Structure 1
Amino acid sequence: MKEMDTIGFLELTSIAKGIEAVDFMLKAADSTLLMAKASCPGKYYIMICGQVGSVERSIDVGVQIGGRYVVGELLIPRVHPSVIKAINMSEIPETTKAIGVLEYYSAVGSIIAADYAVKAADVSLIAIQLGTGIAGKSFVVLTGDVGAVEAAVEAGAKGAKEKAMMINKIVLPNPRKELVESLIQ
């Protein structure tokens, strides 16, 4: 597999236009498709990876093809590897001293916030949920020591401020195991 130092993400409001954009994006540059899927409420998400120049070119082409249907885009060079792993994948940590949640109106917000959060403090990503079944919203769940979670949530919120509208953010010390389990179902 190619070097995954950069990810690119597009969020569109048309499924058909999203499918068309994926084809053009992959033909435009040497990028690898990580995800292309329809989601609620009728959105289409595209995530690619590769080297910076290739991902930039692919995203530019996707934005051009997607036109007025593009509602979110991002490019993250040197993305933290746990961000890719946590998108729509979940695992329950053995211990949770605290959890933090960042909630956004778009998928782009959670991806950006997760990358900033995990780079800012010693936390682990539990999940990044993107839109499916939650009306196009998204959220990040992370865990660690209380101070680290507080720092990570603040860093994530600040980092995504320019690109996405946050709904809410919380930090819960000593959450019950049942609560943590319910977050990843």
Structure 2
Amino acid sequence: MKKHPAIAVLEFRDIAVGLVATDAMLKRSPIAFLKCGTISRGRFLTLLGGTTASVEEACHEGLLQGGESVLDHVLLADVHPQLYDAILGHRRPVGAGSLAIIETSTVSSNVRAAELALKGTPVDLVELRLADAGLSGKGLSIVHGELHDVEAAVEIAASFLRDAGVEAGFRIIPAPHEALAGHVGAGTRFGSAALLELDGEGDER
């Protein structure tokens, strides 16, 4: 898919309101792409992209129509390329280095925190999960890089989330086991994870 300069993410508490607001956004502004649907906890998530002007106009309309049903939202006028790719489901491999996990109570806050971390440090975004099955409405991002860069990325994300009053959790794994790194690189969903045979002790019977 062609990259577009701006994206917006809107989370609605109510599915019906989310559908109506998304319809209004589409009718209001000529956006370039749309992805929307229900997520866990009975919420509705809308992702749209295009030119900065079109996305800003659509987002404004969505907020107007959504009203108090809008749980959270984010508008990125100059989205980082890695974040753009991750939102569309692309992944980056995990090599030597450290991992940081950023977990937030909303999707939009995680997207913004990951964007700030990417623009403020040379870390790579391994995975971004947007309230999919098993996350109970949470956002999850995992970044990879040198330990000092990963620590700086977490501090940038944590500072933003503290100021925004968002419930969040952070953990750093300085030197992840190669088995864990491989699993994280392939994806953190248990249902799609492969069983990996290791060299540890087992029952030989």
User: Which TM-score applies when normalising by structure 1?
Assistant: 0.90
The reply to whether residue 147 of structure 1 matches residue 148 of structure 2 is: yes
Which residue does 2:48 correspond to in 1?
A: 48
Paired amino acid for 1:24: A
Question: SS of 2:103's equivalent?
Answer: strand
- 1:75-114 equivalent positions in 2, closer than 5 A: 75-87=75-87, 89=89, 91=91, 93-114=93-114
Native 8 Å contact 1:105 1:164 kept in 2? no
Which residue does 1:11 correspond to in 2?
A: 11
Aligned counterparts of 1:33 and 1:14: Cα–Cα separation in 2: 22
Paired amino acid for 2:105: Y
- 1:107-146 equivalent positions in 2, closer than 5 A: 107-132=107-132, 133-146=134-147
Question: SS of 1:30's equivalent?
Answer: coil
Asked which structure has the greater CA Rg, the reply is 2
Which residue does 1:178 correspond to in 2?
A: 179
What fraction of aligned residue pairs are identical, expressed as a percent? 28
Aligned counterparts of 1:11 and 1:164: Cα–Cα separation in 2: 17
- 1:153-168 equivalent positions in 2, closer than 5 A: 153-163=154-164, 165-168=166-169
Paired amino acid for 1:175: P
Higher mean alpha-carbon deviation, 16-25 vs 159-168, is at 159-168
Higher mean alpha-carbon deviation, 165-174 vs 1-10, is at 1-10
Native 8 Å contact 2:94 2:181 kept in 1? no
1:148 shift after superposition = 0.9
1:173 shift after superposition = 0.9
CA deviation vs aligned residue, 1:20-75 (integer Å, no higher than 9, x gap):
21111011112123421210011111111122221111011111111221111111
CA deviation vs aligned residue, 1:66-112 (integer Å, no higher than 9, x gap):
12211111111111011121137253515141001111100011100
Aligned counterparts of 2:104 and 2:38: Cα–Cα separation in 1: 18
- List alignment gaps of at least 5 residues for structure 1: none
Aligned counterparts of 1:119 and 1:103: Cα–Cα separation in 2: 19
Q: Which has the higher strand share?
A: 1
Higher mean alpha-carbon deviation, 101-110 vs 164-173, is at 164-173
Which residue does 2:71 correspond to in 1?
A: 71
Number of paired residues? 185
User: Which TM-score applies when normalising by structure 2?
Assistant: 0.82
Question: What's the C-alpha RMSD, in Å, of the aligned pairs?
Answer: 2.0
Aligned counterparts of 1:94 and 1:163: Cα–Cα separation in 2: 30
Question: SS of 1:41's equivalent?
Answer: helix
Native 8 Å contact 1:3 1:51 kept in 2? no
Aligned counterparts of 2:80 and 2:7: Cα–Cα separation in 1: 10
Detail structure 1 runs of 4+ shifted over 4 Å in the superposition: none
- List alignment gaps of at least 5 residues for structure 2: 190-205
1:159 shift after superposition = 3.0
Native 8 Å contact 1:88 1:129 kept in 2? no
